[in-house]
A and B are shown apart, each in its own frame.
Chain A
Amino acid sequence: MNYTNAKKTIATFLILYAFVGFGAHATSVSTEDAYPFFSWFLFVTVPPRIQSGFDIMLVSVDGERLETPVHLLDRPDVFSSEGVTERELSEITQRFAHSIRGKRHEQISELRRMLEVHFSTHASYAVREYSYDPLEYFKNKKVSSSIILAEFLVGK
């Protein structure tokens, strides 16, 4: 390949790469995949100033209501995390919350079964949606507001 043709080839390749990469993003933002091409649209959206999340809080143990609900993982004497990683628990929590909001009762039952097998005693728990400023949450885990989506008694 001579110098002049090499220039044309490189130009064509760069344009083609950009075209395919951008095209992959334009046609499927969430599952963009045109392996091995890529749009390089990484971290393109600035996260919002108010964000929301879900968690599961322990509300009562052996019939006694807790003064302040606590995260399941903060009570290993009640909830055993053996066999479930934090990431898996987080995924279960997300699915649980969305199932409650979508009133998908079968999925709710299935997720309850997956979760309640880890309880070692009689307890009740709540699925909570909370809003927070990510900067404040990072500094001191401060939550702006929260609502209980649903409360469940283990085994019932």
Chain B
Amino acid sequence: MNMSISPAKIMKDAYARLSDTLDNFIKGGTDFEKAKAIVPFFYYFLFFIAFTHLEGLNHTIAEGASGFTPRFPLFWAPYVEYGTVVTLVFLTWVGTSLLACLFPYIRTVRIFAFVGFLQYHAYVASFGQPNHQWDHWLWISLILVFLPGLTREPSVETRRTFSLVFWGAQAFLLLTYTMAGIGKLTYAFIQFSQGQAHAFSPDAGALYAATQLNLMQETVPLAGIIISHPWLAWLPFLILLELQTFALVAAFRPQLHRIWGFGLILFHIGTFLTMRAVFTAPSALLLLFLLASPFAPEKKKWNETLSSIPLFGRLFQYVTKRIESGRNIN
């Protein structure tokens, strides 16, 4: 008897299980209606951000081209005067995102919106290291290009595919947080093995805050209390590790979408108030794609929600079962 299981079979089985999980909540019914209603708001936000950035056009041009090394999407930039490059990038972004506000369900328009934002994203990334807080917007604007075209009465297949692509944007957003969590866990074990402070240390949060603020020579409202009482940041930091590492798991559990979206928004607020880490751009996406998730159940069953939290859900289930069996005996 052949007992070996090939990696390919494991992956195939995993894909089948996850696929079945998706099929359970991607129905093409109210989930489709909600997803369809949310999509234009992505472009409304995108336009708003583009327009507010337009305010800084003159200042950006005046700062000059020092250090400007165009990324590949700006292949045309070397042939054009720098001020014109900046103007074209900003105006294209504004124009294409506005067009997408008007016609969000037309694929060609969504392609233009993606290309318009890609120009801006590439421009910002052309001065050394990219500013990653705009990465989610870039990739989600690409994912949304693949939303299927809608007729007056789309078929169930089309509706399901629409919902699925929307879910793909959710999954990508959550994947990035999982990757961040994996990074923190990996280095936690490395640092622990080297006898250094690590992510599970009680003073980890305080060390991050103090180091960052010393470097920037700034302070923020919660820095003082966290640094004076490092233990205060310990539990929030552990919760953050849970939120980040298991974010992609939450993508497959719609009852967790809202709580994860809320938790991640709090994370970004918290890192700003403790260490002045500015990462505001993903917040709008967390609102649109998670807090307003079309797949989250209408009626909240707290038992089910808490039971489905990775790792702690099992503990919660165990405790509630013990309490129930104690009641039954009585």
Chain A residues numbered 33-62 whose CB sits less than 8 Å from any CB in chain B: 33, 35-36, 38-49, 51
* Contact residues in A for B208 (Cβ distance below 8 Å): 43, 46-47
Q: Which residues of A contact B183 (CB under 8 A)?
A: 25, 39-42, 44
* Known A-B contacts A7-B19, A42-B132; A14 and B171 likewise in contact (beta carbons under 8 Å): yes
Q: Once the chains bind, are A18 and B201 in contact (CB under 8 Å)?
A: no
Q: Select the stretch in A75-83, A117-125, A134-142 that faces chain B.
A: A134-142
Least CB separation from B164: chain A residue:
A6
B203 within 8 A of A: yes
The CA of A15 and the CA of B299, in the complex, are separated in Å by: 33
Residue A13 interfacial (CB < 8 Å): yes
Please indicate the chain A residues that have their CB under 8 angstroms from the CB of B168 in the complex. Answer: 6, 10, 13-14
> Which among A3, A25, A42 has the highest number of chain B CB atoms within 10 Å?
A3
- How many B residues, CB 8 Å from partner? 60
Contacts of B130 in A (CB 8 A): 33, 35-36, 38
Contact A44 B187, CB 8 Å, known A3-B164, A10-B165: yes
Do A10 and B171 touch across chains, with their CB atoms under 8 A apart?
yes
B164 partner residues in chain A, CB cutoff 8 A: 3, 6-7, 10
- Residue B24 CB within 8 A of the other chain: no
**Interface pair A38/B132, CB less than 8 Å apart:** yes
Separation of A2 and B201 alpha carbons in the complex (Å): 48
Contact with A along B140-164 (1 / 0, CB 8 A): 0001001010000000010011001
CB distance from A90 to the nearest CB of B (A): 9
Query: A84 on the interface (CB 8 Å rule)?
Result: no
Q: Which residues of B contact A40 (CB under 8 A)?
A: 132, 176-177, 179-180, 183
Q: B290 at interface (Cβ–Cβ under 8 A)?
A: no
Contact residues of B between 185 and 238, Cβ < 8 Å to A: 186-188, 191, 196-199, 201, 203-204, 206-211, 213-214, 217, 223-224, 227-228, 230
B185 closest partner in A (C-beta): A44
Query: Are A1's CB and B180's CB within 8 A?
Result: no
A7 to B125 CA separation, bound complex (whole angstroms): 31
B196 closest partner in A (C-beta): A48
Closest partner residue, chain A, to B179 (CB atom): A40
**A135 with B160: CB separation less than 8 A:** no
Query: Which B residues are in CB contact (< 8 Å) with A25?
Result: 183
Cβ contact within 8 Å between A3 and B175: no
Interface: B44 (CB within 8 A): no
Residue of A nearest to B168 (CB): A10
Provide the bound-state CA to CA distance between A3 and B197, in Å. Answer: 47
A138 surroundings in chain B (CB, below 8 A) = 209-210, 213-214, 223, 227
The CA-CA distance from A138 to B138 in the complex, in Å, is 37
Is B242 interfacial (CB 8 A cutoff)? no
CA–CA, A45 and B212, complex, Å: 12
Would B230 and A48 count as touching, CB distance under 8 A? no
B223: A residues at CB distance < 8 A: 138
Residues of A within 8 A of B4 (CB): none
Q: Are A35 and B71 in contact (CB under 8 A)?
A: yes
The chain A residue with its CB closest to the CB of B156 is: A3
Contacts of A2 in B (CB 8 A): 157, 161
Q: With A40-B180, A138-B213 given, is the CB distance from A48 to B146 under 8 Å? A: no
Q: Would you call B66 an interface residue if the criterion is a C-beta within 8 Å of the partner chain's C-beta atoms?
A: no
Contact A3 B125 (CB under 8 A): no
Please report B residues at the A interface, Cβ cutoff 8 Å.
15, 18-19, 22, 71-72, 121-122, 125, 129-130, 132, 135, 138-139, 143, 146, 148, 157, 160-161, 164-165, 167-168, 171-172, 175-177, 179-180, 183-184, 186-188, 191, 196-199, 201, 203-204, 206-211, 213-214, 217, 223-224, 227-228, 230, 277
5 A-B pairs within 8 Å (CB atoms) are namely: A13-B168, A44-B184, A44-B187, A134-B214, A135-B207
With A36-B121, A138-B210 known, 20 other A-B pairs at CB within 8 A are A3-B164, A6-B165, A11-B18, A33-B129, A36-B122, A36-B130, A38-B132, A39-B179, A41-B180, A44-B180, A44-B184, A45-B191, A46-B187, A48-B197, A49-B197, A137-B214, A138-B209, A138-B213, A139-B224, A139-B228
